[in-house]
Amino acid sequence: MPVLMRMGIGLRRNESEMHATTVAVDLAKSVFQIAIADDKWKVIEQQRLTRSQFERWFHNRDVGLVVMEACGSAHHWGRWFNRLGIEVKLLPAVYIRAYVKRNKTDAADACALLEAARCADIVPVRVKSIEQQALQGLHRIRSRWMGTRTARINTLRGFCREFGLVVPQGARTGVEAMSRALADPNAPIPLLIRESMKLLIEEIRLLELRIAQLERELTSLARQSPACTELLTIPGIGLLTATAMVAATGGSVSHFKDARHFASWFGLTPKEFSSGNSRKLGRISKKGDRYLRMLLTHGARAVLRAAELARRSGKQLDNLRTWATEIQARTHHNKAACALANKLARVCYAVLRDHTPFGSPQPRQEKKLTRTAFAIAA
C-alpha cells in the first residue's frame, strides 16, 4: 500500500508538471530554482536543478510561459526558450524586490517572480538578440578602457603635482606635457619613479590605440545599419549614441507607447509629486539606461555650445537650436541640457518610428562617420 501511495503521488506530480502553464526561474551560474504554477497562478511545486537538469527539464514539458528576472544570462536563456516555442517574460529586477516575502532565498525569489508577473503595470524587458548584446559589449569595453585611461592620466597628474610640476588641463594637452617632462632630464622628477611613469604613458598610448580601433569597428557597423545612419542626421547624436541606441532598442521602437514613454526609458522625464489638486514636477527620474542618458546629455551640451557660438557669429539657427537657446536663456544651463536631451530622445523616437532622416542628412552624416577617433590617437 505505501508503494502504491508513493506511485500515486509520483503520478500526480508528473501530471502537474506536464500541465503546468507558468514556470518562474531564479537564475544563477550553476544552480537554478524553479517554481511551477498552474493556470490559476498557484504554486504547485518547486525544484532546485543543476544546469544539465535544467535544460532537460523543459524538454517534453507543456510550459506556456517562463518568467525570469532581467539579469545576467537572462537574455541567453530567453532566446533558448523562444527556440523551444515557449513565451518568455523578463521582469526588471528593481520591481521584484517588493514581492519577496520575509527571508531572501532562491525559492522566495522564484515565488516573487510569479507574483510580479501578474502585475499588469510592470512592463517586461524585451529579449535582446545576440547582435544587440555584442554591440552593447563593444560599448562596455570602450567605457572600461576610457575609465582606465582617465585613471592613469589622473595618477600621473598626482605624481607631477607632488614634484612641483603644473600640468595643463585637458587629456590631450596633459599627456603631451607630461611626456615632454619625462623626456627632459632636467625636469624635477626623481629617477626612481621616472621609468614607471613612462610605463604609464605607454599604457595610455596603448589604450588610445585600442579605443581608436574599436571606434573604427563601430563606424563600419554604423554604415551598414539604416537605423544608425538615420539617427546620425539628428543634431547631438553621434556615432556612440546612435550605435548604443540601436543596440538597446534593436532599431525598433514599436514596443513604446509614445515619445514620452521612450524618453522616460532613459530617465529623462521629471518625477511627479501629486496629491489632490496639487501637482508638482520635480527633477528627472534618472531611471533606466544610465549610459544612454549620459550620451544624450553630452550631445545636448554640445548642441547648446554650438548653437551659442553660431548665434554670436550671426548665423541663422534651425527650430531645434532656436528652441534650445531660448530654454537656456531663461533657466540654468544644466536644466536646459536635460530639457534638450529629453527633446533629442523624442526626436530619436520619431526617426526610428517613421524611418525618416532628420533635416538635411548628407553633410551631417558624413561629418560624423568620417571622424577619426573620440580619444587621442597615438
pLDDT single digits (tens) 221-278 = 999 999 999 999 999 999 999 999 999 999 999 999 999 999 999 999 988 888 888 8
Q: Is residue 104 part of a domain?
A: yes
Residue 7 has pLDDT above 50, yes or no: no
Residues 353 and 241 in one domain: yes
Last residue of a domain, one of 164, 197, 224: 224
Residue 47 has pLDDT above 60, yes or no: yes
Residues 261 and 286 in one domain: yes
Residues 197 and 288 in one domain: no
For the segment 33-60, the average pLDDT, to the nearest whole number, is: 91
Q: Is residue 374 part of a domain?
A: no
* pLDDT for res 8: 37
pTM (two decimals): 0.86
Residue 353 has pLDDT above 70, yes or no: yes
For the segment 302-311, the average pLDDT, to the nearest whole number, is: 93
Residues 213 and 250 in one domain: no
Residues 350 and 234 in one domain: yes
* pLDDT for res 275: 85
Q: pLDDT confidence of 376, banded at 50, 70, 90?
A: very low
Residues 265 and 326 in one domain: yes
The Cα–Cα gap between 49 and 29 comes to 11
Q: Is residue 123 part of a domain?
A: no
For the segment 94-122, the average pLDDT, to the nearest whole number, is: 91
For the segment 347-357, the average pLDDT, to the nearest whole number, is: 94
Residues 208 and 233 in one domain: no
Last residue of a domain, one of 224, 249, 276: 224
Residue 10 has pLDDT above 70, yes or no: no
Q: Hey, what's the cell of 55?
A: 535544460
Q: Is residue 185 part of a domain?
A: yes
CB atoms inside a 10 Å sphere around CB 197: 20
Q: 231, 246 in Cβ contact below 8 A?
A: yes
Q: Is residue 122 part of a domain?
A: no
Residues 208 and 288 in one domain: no
Q: pLDDT confidence of 374, banded at 50, 70, 90?
A: low
Residues 261 and 330 in one domain: yes
Query: What rounded mean pLDDT belongs to the chain?
Result: 89
Q: Is residue 195 part of a domain?
A: yes
For residue 112, give the CATH number of its domain.
3.30.420.40
Last residue of a domain, one of 184, 201, 224: 224
Which amino acid is present at 79?
R
Q: pLDDT confidence of 37, banded at 50, 70, 90?
A: very high
The Cα–Cα gap between 129 and 117 comes to 22
Q: pLDDT confidence of 27, banded at 50, 70, 90?
A: very high
Residues 139 and 173 in one domain: yes
* pLDDT for res 209: 96
Q: 113, 96 in Cβ contact below 8 A?
A: yes
Q: 67, 117 in Cβ contact below 8 A?
A: yes
DSSP notation for 84-104:
TT-EEEEE-GGGTGGG--SS-
What pairing do the DSSP bridges indicate for beta strands 31-37 and 278-284?
unpaired
Q: Is residue 375 part of a domain?
A: no
Specify the number of domains making up the chain: 3
* pLDDT for res 251: 93
* pLDDT for res 60: 78
Domain that holds residue 164: 130-224
Q: What angle do CA 125, 229, 139 make, to 5 degrees?
A: 50
Percent of the chain having pLDDT more than 70? 90
Residue 19 has pLDDT above 60, yes or no: no
* pLDDT for res 367: 63
CB atoms inside a 10 Å sphere around CB 87: 13
| Non-local CB neighbours of 44 within 8 Å, separated by 6+ positions | 16, 20, 36, 37, 38
Q: 241, 332 in Cβ contact below 8 A?
A: no
Q: Is residue 107 part of a domain?
A: yes
Residue 16 has pLDDT above 60, yes or no: no
* pLDDT for res 13: 43
**Range name among 57-61, 148-152, 191-195 with the lowest pLDDT average:** 57-61
The Cα–Cα gap between 33 and 114 comes to 13
Better-predicted residue by pLDDT, 90 or 318: 90
Residues 109 and 25 in one domain: yes
DSSP notation for 226-238:
HHHHHHTTSTT--
* pLDDT for res 20: 59
Residues 158 and 208 in one domain: yes
Q: Alpha helices of the chain — where are they, by DSSP H?
A: 2-18, 51-57, 74-83, 106-117, 130-162, 171-183, 191-224, 226-231, 239-249, 259-264, 290-312, 319-330, 333-354, 361-369
